[in-house]
Amino acid sequence: MASKKPENMTFEATLEELDTLVNQLETGELALEDALKKFERGISLARAGQSKLTEAEQRVSILLSEDDSAELVDFDNHLTNEE
């Protein structure tokens, strides 16, 4: 089965797969080429997870900074308006 692109996965699925990869790499039983492929996949997953966390932090920051009378806008529109 082909792996999903990390950016298309949920944060929880990303963490779960990353945890599995780390466990496989820690055993030391993989061939070098297989270990490198899993390491590369792990790096992609870690970067995607960090990106999702950063986005969530930004959304929380926006929500906390708005006052009660502020107009509600989509998150993507809010970023576009600030740039």
Domain extent at residue 36: 31-62
For the chain (83 residues), the mean pLDDT of every run of 10, in chain order, is: 81 96 95 96 96 92 74 61 50
The count of domains in the chain is 1
In-domain check, residue 56:
yes
User: Residue 33 has which token pair?
Assistant: 């080429």
In 3D space, the residue among 5, 2, 23 whose CA is nearest the CA of residue 14 turns out to be 5
Confirm whether 73 is domain-assigned.
no
pLDDT at 63: 83
Whether residue 43 is contained in a domain is answered as yes
Within-domain flag for 57: yes
Is residue 21 included in any domain, yes or no?
no
Predicted local confidence at residue 4, as pLDDT: 87
For residue 26, what pLDDT is reported?
96
49 located within any domain: yes
